[in-house]
Amino acid sequence: MDTAVAAASTKLTEKEAQIYDRGIRLWGVDAQTKLRQSKVLFIGINSLMSEIIKNVVLVGVDKVELVEDALATYDKLACNLFLSEDSIGKTVVSEAIQKINSLNPLVTVDSTDKEFETMTDDFVKGYDLVVLSHTNFSNAYIVNNLCKKNNIPFILTGTFGLHGFIFEDLNEFTYQKRDESKEGSLIETHKLSYKTISESLKGGVWNKRVDPHFLVLFLLAKFEEKHNRVPDVLQNIDTEELTSNLNEVIKQHTLKQSEIDKIFKITKDTLRTLNAEVPTTCSVLGGIAGIEVIRILSRNGTPINNWLFLDVEKGTGNVEIL
């Protein structure tokens, strides 16, 4: 056993130190130990979440808890790592647990059946991080507010075809980072303050320098607030209202026609693929989100503050503080 593994064995078992040797070398003994002691709650096991869970389980957390009540159907098979044709008719969560156990038997996997309306403080307490796959903003507000109240880091993430996003509310978050620009510099402690997603979206804070994907989410949130449902992009009446709302927002800003055309294209492309899951998008965004989970749980490295917008078509990822 070499020095790195031997040092890890003082906090991890010898078996764990050997299995997680790569992680120990990448982010250190202390970070790996924190990961091994962490418990993560995942709500909504879609294709993107399957990528995130895979990455988190492989780095070696203590426990993952899954919340999902859906059955596996053919339309869910496109890129969900936990499902196959043999899964049809079975619960998504039972299939996920089976696959996760095969990925890393050292990680405890459990599930619970919980409606958003019945979630309480006790439900989220005991977890070091809560990750929610986007379904609608009403559910996001419920989970985010519970996490905020109990000082638990929260991630919301979702994809729309070739587009995707990550939102983070880590409360008052402290982390450690070394200044790589200075040779021999010491590790320093930093602090970030975060907003809830409702605070971030409130008032439609937007300007031409903000990623247009934020405008899409703002429009969706406003639509849900008015109609108490997500828009149906196959219904003309819904798309017409979204387009009208988009025009109203654009009128509030002095923009060049080229900028307006760009905003319309991204907005319409995103709305048109509102419920579409694309393997490439899920894989890329799932990888980014997995890295974020490691940073948050280990408090090692700078986390996203507070939005990341991914455009796979252009190969870009923009971080915005909103």
- On whether both 168 and 61 belong to a single domain, the answer is yes
Tell me, yes or no, whether 122 and 265 share the same domain.
no
Range of the domain at 238: 200-272
Residues 26 and 152 in one domain: yes
- pLDDT attached to residue 299: 93
Both 182 and 44 in one domain: the answer is yes
Same domain, 148 and 130: yes
What are 93-104's pLDDT values in tens digits? 999 999 999 999
What single letter denotes the amino acid at residue 202? K
Condensed to tens digits (0 to 9), the pLDDT of residues 41-83 reads: 999 999 999 999 999 999 999 999 999 999 999 988 889 999 9
Full-prediction pTM beyond 0.85? Answer: yes
Nearest Cα neighbor of 111 from 66, 46, 72, 71 is: 66
Of the three residues 272, 290, 310, the one that is the final residue of a domain is: 272
- Chain segment 187-231, per-residue pLDDT in tens: 889 999 999 999 998 855 555 567 888 888 888 898 998 999 888
Helix-then-strand count for the chain, H and E: 13, 10
276-312 residue pLDDT tens: 899 999 999 999 999 999 999 999 989 999 999 999 9
Q: In this predicted structure, what is the pLDDT of residue 315?
A: 93
Residue 8 maps to which CATH number? 3.40.50.720
**24 and 87 both lie in a single domain:** yes
State residue 67's pLDDT score. 97
Same domain, 47 and 104: yes
Q: Are residues 295 and 210 in the same domain?
A: no
Which residues touch 133 (CB under 8 Å, ≥6 apart)? 42, 43, 44, 45, 46, 48, 49, 157, 158
Same domain, 59 and 184: yes
Are residues 183 and 79 part of one domain?
Answer: yes
Q: Same domain, yes or no, for 30 and 40?
A: yes
What is the predicted pLDDT for the residue at 231? 87
* 235-251: average pLDDT: 84
207 and 193 both lie in a single domain: no
Q: Is the pLDDT of residue 8 over 50?
A: no
Number of domains in the chain: 2
